[in-house]
Amino acid sequence: MRLTVILAGLLAMGVGACGGDQPVDGREPSRPASSGEDSPESEGADDEGAAPAKDGGTVVRKPDAGSTTPSKKDGSVAVAPGSDGGVVRGDAGDKPAERAPDAGEPVVTPPGTPGTSDKPQLAVSADFLNQTLTVFNVDKMVEGASRKDVLVGKVDLSKYSPGPVALNVTPDGKTALVSISASFLGAFIDIPPGDGTLLFVDLETLSVIGELNTGKSPMGIVITPDGKHAFVGQLSENYFSYVDIEKRTFEKLQTGAQWNEELAIDDSGTVGILTFGTAGNAKTFSIADPKMGGQTSGLTGDAGGTAFFPGT
């Protein structure tokens, strides 16, 4: 009789080992939550792929690659690496590290990232008082760098009076257009005499390669996206200039007022704007047909710098 009881007990233990207490796929089986407690394993018991266990619990199916499943009682999860080589994440809320590119996979770098071009990033500035242009290497403008480290070269413009006040560079980076002008500085300080002119400067040889007299006191300069034409404000004239860069000729675009100062071209490259007059007027015009004037609005204040909102 005692032997029978012992055998029955062993059989019962064997059934338990093969039933709900047996790990599934190497994972701890889910069990019904105790009264008043939530169990991570019991959440999502009705999800697709779940099947009831013999002990009344729920056997959670093996997750697909890249999916998550609770692995700790504190709610932390582990992310299985997917077919895309994703990383493994530890506790919930941790940020996954970026995936390293596979062998042979191209590395995509956002445009405009410093140091990603074979050529150094250069800039040029106008120095009115010293009558020069200065070309410098932006990539070398780091803490501790000296003027000698950054300087690429200078252009002597001392023979052009009064001095350089504004400039712009063609899209190919080869030519700078420079306004030699007293601008409005003559109203406040003593400056060298001269009506001013428009210069063409070769940025590779750092030399003046052309000059165009567009009128008194040329000001702000914008260049069309194709690099073929430029618009130049004329402070002391009642027009602004439409310049053919290759031919080095220009046409007058009448505004009926002086103080034609600054210009801008929108992102589409089809619309231009000019600020002019002491009332602070703004005039729009078509880049394709600049003779066709746009609307003029009287604003409060003096004419000055202008810009389109990006994307508008």
Q: Supply the DSSP string of 214-270, one letter for each residue.
A: -SSSEEEEEE-TTSSEEEEEETTSSEEEEEETTTTEEEEEE-SSS---EEEE-TTSS
Tokens 């009558």 locate to 131
Can you give the C-alpha Rg of the chain in angstroms?
A: 37
Tokens 């003096």 locate to 302
> Are 274 and 285 a contacting pair, CB within 8 Å?
yes
CA atoms within 13 A on the CB side of 221: 29
> Please, what are the domains in the chain?
122-297 (2.130.10.10)
Average pLDDT, the chain: 74
Residues 6 or more apart in contact with residue 95 via CB below 8 angstroms = none
pLDDT, residue 19, reads 46
Q: What single DSSP character describes residue 146?
A: -
Closest CA to 270 of 252, 255, 285: 285
Cα diameter, the chain: 128
Q: What is the tens place of the pLDDT at every residue in 295-312?
A: 666 666 677 888 999 988
Q: What is the dihedral of CA 208, 210, 216, 222, to 10 degrees?
A: -90
Q: What is the tens place of the pLDDT at every residue in 98-127?
A: 566 666 655 555 544 555 557 899 999 999
Residues in the chain: 312
Q: What is the tens place of the pLDDT at every residue in 138-171?
A: 999 999 999 999 999 999 999 999 999 999 999 9
Closest CA to 119 of 169, 173, 171: 173
Secondary structure of residue 62 in the 3-state scheme: coil
Residue 199, exposed/middle/buried by CB under 10 A (0-12, 13-18, 19+)?
buried
Distance CA 150, CA 175 (A): 20
Distance CA 241, CA 263 (A): 11
Q: What is the tens place of the pLDDT at every residue in 210-264?
A: 999 999 999 999 999 999 999 999 999 999 999 999 999 999 999 888 899 999 9
Task: Give the Cα-Cα-Cα angle 261, 207, 148 (nearest 5 degrees).
Answer: 95
pLDDT, residue 59, reads 46
Q: What is the tens place of the pLDDT at every residue in 39-78?
A: 444 444 444 444 455 455 544 454 455 444 444 444 444 4
pTM value is 0.61
Distance CA 44, CA 183 (A): 74
